[in-house]
Amino acid sequence: MKVHHIGYAVKDVSAAVKAFKVLGWVVTAEPSDDVSRNISIAFVSNGQYVVEFIATLNPEHSSPVDFLSKAKFPGNGIPYHLCYECNCLEQTVAELENTGYRQITQVAPAPAIDDRNVVFLLNQHIGLIELIERGDNQ
Ligand code: NI
């Protein structure tokens, strides 16, 4: 499967975008809020590489990246998932589940990626991965 992006947990999405721009990255999706997941999110790219920044929106509530507030080192900017693009989420999840991956979220649309469906799986040896379904125009 082709890698779609690398997910980075950060404390401040706009500050992370600014720091990456200095290194030659360009913004492909400006920071926006995904209230249903309690996150702020943005995308930058550099050649073939795409990085997604994710920050907790409201610290009063849980979020997929609230582990960051407990991390002692490096404490910010932690790459924590690779996202892979596939043709059919249902089929790919079934195949991966036969090899030791476990689905840990419901399939749900990602507003920051054209509402394409995504799902997260966990593997005991490599941690978290994300799957995104290929869009109509890809
Ligand atoms: Ni992601």
In a domain, 63, yes or no: yes
CA–centroid distance, residue 9 to ligand 1 (Å): 10
Beta bridge partners of 27: 44
Residue 54's nearest CA partner among 77, 21, 72, 23 is 77
CA–centroid distance, residue 22 to ligand 1 (Å): 22
CA–centroid distance, residue 98 to ligand 1 (Å): 23
What residues have their beta carbon closer than 5 A to ion ligand 1?
A: 7, 52, 83, 130
Number of domains in the chain: 1
CA–centroid distance, residue 41 to ligand 1 (Å): 9
DSSP string, 74-126: S-S-EEEEEEEEES-HHHHHHHHHTTT-EE-S--EEEGGGTTEEEEEEEETTT
CA–centroid distance, residue 60 to ligand 1 (Å): 22
CA–centroid distance, residue 63 to ligand 1 (Å): 13
Q: Sorting pLDDT into bands at 50, 70 and 90, what band is 136?
A: confident
In a domain, 42, yes or no: yes
CA–centroid distance, residue 72 to ligand 1 (Å): 23
Domain housing 6? 2-133
In a domain, 14, yes or no: yes
- Here the CATH number for the domain that contains residue 111 is 3.10.180.10
What's the pLDDT at 109?
A: 95
DSSP string, 30-91: EEEEEGGGTEEEEEEEETTEEEEEEEES-TTS--TTGGGGG--SS-S-EEEEEEEEES-HHH
pLDDT for 2 beyond 60: yes
Q: Distance between alpha carbon 131 and the CA centroid of its chain, in Å? A: 9
In a domain, 138, yes or no: no
CA–centroid distance, residue 134 to ligand 1 (Å): 14
Q: What is the pLDDT of residues 26-60, one digit of tens each?
A: 999 999 999 999 999 999 999 999 999 999 999 99
Distance (Å, whole) CA 129 – CA 105: 11
Q: What is the pTM of this model?
A: 0.92
What six digits make up the tokens of 64? 């997929």
Contact 103, 97 (CB under 8 A): yes
pLDDT for 68 beyond 80: yes
pLDDT for 138 beyond 70: no
